[in-house]
Each structure stands twice: as structure tokens, then as C-alpha cells.
Structure 1
Amino acid sequence: MSNQLLIGIDSFVAAGIDPATGQPIGPADRMQQLLEEIALADEVGLDTFGIGEHHRRDFLDAAPAMILAAAAARTKRIHLNSAVTVLSADDPVRVFQNFATLDLLSQGRAALIVGRGSFTEAFPLFGLNLNDYDSLFTEKLDLLLKIRDNANVTWSGRYRAPLKNQGIYPRPLQEKLPIWLGVGGTPESFVRAGTLGLPLMIAIIGGEPHRFRPLVDLYREAGRRAGHPAEQLKVGVHVFGFVGDTTQQAADDFYPGYAQMFTTISKERGFPAPTRGQYDATRGPRGAFMIGDPETVAAKLLAVSESLGGLARISIQMTNLLLPHAKMLHAIELLGTRVAPLVREALVSA
């Protein structure tokens, strides 16, 4: 198992409801809370903070590069990334320019995690056909990687005007802007990441993480066959989690907001609403939720990394509509000052 495991947080910037009053938190106030969360994550020594991308009423993360740029001005060392950029619905030139600019503002702390997204609102919003879901992503990823590797690009495709020796600026501070491929559970996506030699970020929103091991092995084998060195084939996971002083308190605090968010999504997609029993089972020893006291969460992070053959990073999704801001800050503090040191110490002594 790798002796380095980056630990961070992902946020979808849920609009938020004040539990004391039941009233929505104003969007401007919620943004200030978010920047406070990111600044604290930096202060307590966490490695990464990611902002998702959604185009719906209940999230405020439609422009992640702008949020991350504001965070860059308030932080010093934490790496800042998208989680994920919905590349299918965006222009790769603008995506690259935005994150190259972020890299300059942050002094080399920017990264992209690109994917197709689990929501589809961006397609009609930007005049795209959902039937082109995969081909859009394939073509735009090809262009993004060419831009990442070359300041002047000649390229043609189906969905965008061609480029002929076009200079694309600014260039990032880092010699090569990190681009990770965000995936769900589709084997073809794992093979694509391996073949391209891109680091892999797996969204695990439920079930048992060890069941992804065959797909991770598929990714590593595809990368090996394509001639990429093993150290280039990094794997990370994005999981739901929350840290409290006790495991029961963490579970009870996180559940109401989690249940409300997924009840809404389940209604939209025709799935059964989540139950407390399912939630408690998924935060059990083999489940995907990293919810508990610091020792419990640290042990689960290490177990998941081992079960998947060694991870390069774990990003904990703590988005929650109903959680008081003070409790979110406390969870971030515990993650940085208690969980991360336990994980690092265990890996050093392994």
C-alpha cells in the first residue's frame, strides 16, 4: 500500500437551511461559510479541497473555478480542484484557461477532475443533446489533453470549431496541469483512464468500496498495456463522510441533511428514498460512508486504501443541507488534526 495518501474534502456547496429557524441561508452568506471551511481545511493541514459542478437550484457550485479562485486568495498550501468538471457540457479551451489562471493565482495548487457528471441539467442548459453524452466527453477530453500538453494546438472534431496552430493562454505555473478522470462504475471509463495514463478518481456513493477492486485492477492493467509507468496510475476515491467527537453523534448529525438531499434525488430518478437502516449499514465496517469518531474514520480510510490496492488520495464529501456551520467546521478540524495524522502515522509505520 502506498505510504502517501492525500486526504481532503469535496463540497457541492449545498444551498443550506438554518436548522434553528428552518429558513434558507442566503447564497452570499453560504459562500462566505464555504470560504471559511476551505480556509480552515488549509489551516489544519488537509491536502485537498474540491468543488463540484451542478446547475440546479439546491447547489451553488455552477462556477467552481471562480469559487476556487476566491479560495486561493485565502489559503497557502491546500491543493484546489474541481470535483468534477462536467467536461461534456463545457468548452475545453475555457476549462483549461480557467484552471490555468487558478494555477497562477494559487501558485501551482490547481488540478482538474473531469467527468461526464451524474446530473444532466447542463445538457439542455447549454444546448447539447443528451444522446451525445459519451461522444461529447470523449472528443472534449481529447482536446483538453492536447491543450494541456501543447501551447499551440491544431485539432478538429465534430462538436467544436477546429483549431489551426492556435495559441491557448495563459499557461499554468505547473509544467503539466494535473488532470484526473472522474468515474462511476462503468468498466469502459476505467479502461479509458488507464489507456490514457490519467489518474483515476472513483465516486463511491454507497455499497462496499472493496467491490471496486476488479475495476481498479482493470484500470491498472489497461495502463500497463498502454506502456504507462505504475507510479503514474494513481487512484483516488470520493466518498461521503463526516467526523464527530463520537461515532453516534457524527451519524446522528449527518443523517438529516443526507436523507433530505437523497430523498429529493430519489424522487427525481424514481428510486426508493434512503432509510436510516440503509444509512447505518453503509457506515458500518465494510460500507462506503466514512462517518464516525476520528479513530473510526481513520481506520476505515486505511482499510479502503488497502482493499483497493493502495490509494493516492481520498476526498470526503461532507455536503449537507441541514448541518449547522459550527458542526461542519468542527468536523473539518477533526479531519485535519486527528484523522489525517492517524492515517499518516499508520502508513509511515506500515
Structure 2
Amino acid sequence: MEIGISTFLEATPDPVTGQPYNHAERLRNAVEEIVLADQVGLDVYGIGEHHRADYAGTAPAVVLAAAAGLTKRIRLTSAVTVLSSDDPVRVYESFSTLDGISNGRAEIMAGRGSFIESFPLFGYDLQDYDELFEEKLDLLLAIRQSEKVTWQGKHRPAIHNLGVYPRSVQDPLPVWIASGGNPESAIRAGVLGLPIAFAIIGGMPEKFAPLVNLYKQAAARAGHDPSKLQIATHSHGFIADTTEQAADLFFPSTQAQMTVLGRERGWPAYTREAFDAARSMRGALYVGDPEYVAEKIVLLRQNLGVDRFFLHVNVGTMPHKEVLHAIELLGTKVAPLVRKALA
């Protein structure tokens, strides 16, 4: 089972001091995190694309490339690329370039995006939300399949027997489908025979079992072997030397960011009671000491059969040294415990 880190490069104000978090500093810190994750034996590091002031991750491939030459084995992925509002040619070129720099460690995680800022920014109509993703995913898969591409769609000019370069070291360049729990996304990934990543940030992870089954059934009907398809999950969490430390460190930034998002989306106030309930054994928050977090990941594997787990660190702004310590504990303590239990 692969274990790694995901982040949106949060750059929210410090929840204690109120001081803003400089975007440039967050980007440099991300490179340091990736290098440490590689050193402590983690398998993958993913950066999500967002286009708003409280995140610095507008160009994941650039940040990942900055760390590629400083690392040896860790896989480097978007988490996610908002494919609906991007150009598949440029997406492929960026990540095939990253693949070359890293000598075959790049991946693309393609999603429709739970945030919509990129659509007006790049001139797309939200009424075309679903259609844009389907069309651009089709083009991206055509590009990774063939050096010369002939393609025609509705929302992008046609391509007539043109080459897209550089070609990736990996053949084909891995493309994952990311989903927040949409059944249509699970079916789409299964039909295409693509690996899928589920964002589980609330409720009980075991409730995603029907979506996993839907994905596997769709894959089998389309002629793919479900046992050869990877399934990942991404959940918020934090690790410290004790569970109490982890909870107390992680709550202020999480509450601050969830309050911002709650105002935008009409969610109820985010309380400590809700936070503590979510970090229970069957909850979606992976917050605790290494033994507790490892136990939760093993339970996740038993319930959903996942092959890869992303711990999303951090939600909101946290002290960089604490984030580094959490990454170190994930690699040196949690991952060995999980692998031993699964063995």
C-alpha cells in the first residue's frame, strides 16, 4: 500500500496571530516538504490546483519540478489538475516535462474541481461544467496515447495530425480520475480503465464502499480487470507524538479554514465537537499519534481495499516545523506500522 502527502499549498492567515502567509514562502516550504517525504520513504506527494488568495498552488507541475531534481523515488502528482478549465495539450506538456526531469515519477490526477474560480479566470462557462471535463479528458487521453494527434471537439479548436512534445518517460503517463463521491465519476473512471482517487473529507470512509463497487463493476463491464486498477483516498489529518498534541495543533487552522469555506458554501459553524467526532476511529479525520493513524489506515484498507492513501496536511496555515514533523512521523512510524499489519 502506498502512503503519501497531499496539499493545496494553503496560505491562509495564521489562526493565532492573524499574520498573512506569504505565497513565496509557502512554495519554498512545499519543496522542503517533498524532499523530506522522499527521505523518510513516503511514496507520493500531490499538490492541488487552486486559483484564489488562500492557496498558493496555481501551478502544481512547477512546484513538483522544483523538487524533482532533489528527490530520488517519490512519485509527484497533481491533486488535482482542474482539467475542465485548462488545456489538455499544456497539461500533458507540463507533466511529461516533469516526468522527464524526475525520470518517470510524474502523474496527473484530473478532476472537475470543487472550486470554480478557474472557470471565469480562463473564460469558461460554468454551464458547460460537465461537458468541458468529458471533452478535455478525451483529448488528454488521446495525447498520452499517440505522439501525433487528430482530434475535434466543441470547446477547443481541432487538432489535425500534430505532435505533442516532449513525450513522457512513462508510457503511458499515468492519469487518475479524482472524485469527491460522484457516482458518475466512479463509473467514468471504471469504463476508461483509469485509477481513481476519492476525496473523503467528511462522514465515515466506509460509506464509500458502494462507490468502490460501482467503479469495479463499471470496469469489469468495459473489459478491464478491476484487480489491476488502483484506488486511492485523500483525507485531512495530522500526526504528532501524542494524539492530544495532534488534535490541539491541527484544530485551530482547520477551524479557521473550514469557517471560511462554510461561509461560502452555507455550512454550519465548525466546532471542536464536530472535529473530535470526525477524528474517531470511523471518522474521516486522520488525526492522532502514529499508532492511532496507522490503525485508521488499516481499517480503511479493510473497508475499501485502497492501494494508496493521501494524508492531506495541512488544512489552513500551521507552523512549518510541525508540518515537517508530521511528515517525518508518517514516513518513519505510520507507514511501517501499516505495512507490517497488512503483511
- Whether TM exceeds 0.5 here: the answer is yes
Match among 323, 330, 345 for residue 318 of structure 2: 323
Q: Distance in 2 between matches of 1:207 and 1:32?
A: 33
Bigger CA drift: 230-239 or 202-211? 230-239
Which residue, out of 333, 336, 343, partners 1:341?
336
What is the CA–CA distance in structure 2 between the aligned matches of 1:228 and 1:28, rounded to whole Å?
A: 44
Kindly provide the amino acid, as one letter, of the partner of residue 98 in structure 2: L
Say yes or no: does 1:43 pair with 2:13.
no
Report the Cα distance in structure 2 between the residues aligned to 1:90 and 1:182, rounded to whole angstroms: 16
Aligned-partner SS, 2:256: helix
Aligned pair partner of 1:78 in 74, 77, 84 = 74
Q: How much does 1:230 deviate?
A: 2.2
SS at match of 1:268: helix
Match status 1:293 vs 2:289: yes
CA deviation map 1:68-114 (0-9, x unaligned): 11011221111000000000000000000000000000010000100
* Alignment partner of 1:105 out of 101, 104, 114: 101
Written as runs of structure 1 = structure 2, the 5 A alignment for 1:147-296 is 147-296=143-292
Q: Which runs of 5+ in 2 are unaligned?
A: none
Say if 1:198 and 1:232, in contact at 8 Å, map to a contact too: no
Q: Following TM superposition, by how much is the alpha carbon of 1:115 offset from its aligned partner in structure 2, in angstroms? A: 0.3
CA contact (8 A) 1:256 1:322 kept: no
Per-residue CA shift, 1:304-347, capped at 9, x if unaligned? 11101x11100010123331111111101100000000011111
* Alignment partner, residue 312 of structure 1: 307
- 2:260 alignment partner AA: T
Q: Which runs of 4+ in 1 moved over 6 A?
A: none
Structure 1's unaligned 5+ residue stretches are none
Deviations 1:104-131 (A, max 9, x none): 0001000010000100001100110000
Amino acid at match of 1:170: P
Cα deviation, 1:8-48, whole Å, max 9, x if unaligned, reads 00011111445675422322222221111111111100000
Which of 97, 116, 121 in structure 1 is aligned with 2:117? 121
CA distance in 1, matches of 2:12, 2:270: 20
1:28 aligned to which of 6, 14, 24: 24
Deviations 1:187-233 (A, max 9, x none): 11111110010001001111100001011100000000100012332
CA distance in 2, matches of 1:22, 1:230: 48
CA distance in 2, matches of 1:273, 1:82: 30
User: What TM-score results when the alignment is normalised by the length of structure 2?
Assistant: 0.98
Q: Are 1:69 and 2:56 counterparts?
A: no
Inter-CA distance 248–87: structure 2 relative to 1 (3 Å threshold):
same
